[in-house]
Structure 1
Amino acid sequence: MRILSCFTLLLFLSANADNNAVWRTSGETVTLRCSVAGCPNSNSNNEYEGMYLYLNQYHEEQKEVQYYHSSPGTSDNIAPRERYKDRIQTNGSLKDHTITISRLTVHDSGFYRCVFIHFPHGRVTCSEHTLFIKGVAPCPPAEVPPALTCKNHLPLVLIIGTACTVCTIATIIFILLIVPRVRRWVCSRRRARRLERVPNNEYVYEVMTARGLRPALEQSSSSTYTGIA
């Protein structure tokens, strides 16, 4: 992988005769110069509003290192990107300044371009630098999951509390309204079954007559009639 990186940087260097090659070791400092003197068709009357310093690497897209903005009547605005905030320093005017990058790592290796914003021609590449860094690539910091806080758990607690409240209310309604109705229905069914099991008088009379028996009332009546006779 390192051989491929060096080979790619050498291609950049060979393709640009005016490119400045710089070799450094991890932890050292490098100073790059950005000047409109290297711009095509450079003229002192040309107006430049700002300058971008870009980094090109073989395995990643072009990155913005710093933006330098200058306009008459206002102070210069120099805005390094997050990765370079604490280790980059700029000295000089917009048209001719130096950029110093400290605490270099192998991830800073690449092809740097000073692109000036030029009116009316748009963007113009004026200075180019190829930076080689010798050393071991540092391990990327491990991603630490965000700390679990009460604020993160608050929605979950509210959802659980609401669900428990709804379940409790539903249980109370079921006990107060549904259970008594079910009990009454069960009791009525039991009474109906008991009534079905008790035979009526007509049915008993028919059964006794079929068996040659007579109810006690008829027997007493016939005995009375016999005594009178």
Structure 2
Amino acid sequence: MYKSFFKISLLLFGFTLFSCKENRQTAADQKHVAAPSVVQAANLNVAESSKKTPENADREISFDIVSPFKKDDYENCYVHGTTKLIHKTDNSFMLTKKDFAITDVDFSDINYEGPGYTIYSYQSSANKNMEVVIIEGQADIGTAWYYVVVLDGEDLVDKFYVKEPRANSENTDMKDFINVALKDKDLVLKFKKDKIAAYSKPLANLRTEGSYLCLDKKIK
């Protein structure tokens, strides 16, 4: 009877030892499998965070919707959507939007006597409330100057002349010469370098950006 009890005890001890070994092996295997998952997740988080744009990075908004104003001889004005430039005199307009008077656009200070105007609207698909109106004053040969009006809805933001650089309006359409963007609080006018007229005078305050010369205008 003693021998039988000894054999049973020995078998139980062996079974317990085997079970402990199996449990230790299983735990080790689980740890071994779990470790790469943690590393991969950490690497993924780093990769994702590296793609994030810094909050203080300048965001450039392109005015990618460019279309001409149409001349309405009956009402003696130029029209684009709800924006109108209504002739007051040969050298001045009243700019209205949705029939609200916004501002006078007057060229009498430079005694303009050119043959007429080409006018374009620049709007952004990212910010449809803003509109940049550019008026090209045509000369007897080529272009005399540009005049820029910046609108935010029915509010005037700014208006100013751009006298250089100029393209030749006889062979270059304004939309193919001037691009417009908004970067932070700067309105950026980009002039295609290979379309600048030979008679245009270079300006020292323009910066180069690829195939463009850029004029940065701080707007209000």
TM-score (norm 2): 0.22
Structure number with higher relative contact order (C-alpha < 8 Å, ≥ 6 residues apart): 1
User: Comparing both structures, which one devotes a greater share of its residues to strand?
Assistant: 2
Rg (Cα) greater in structure: 1
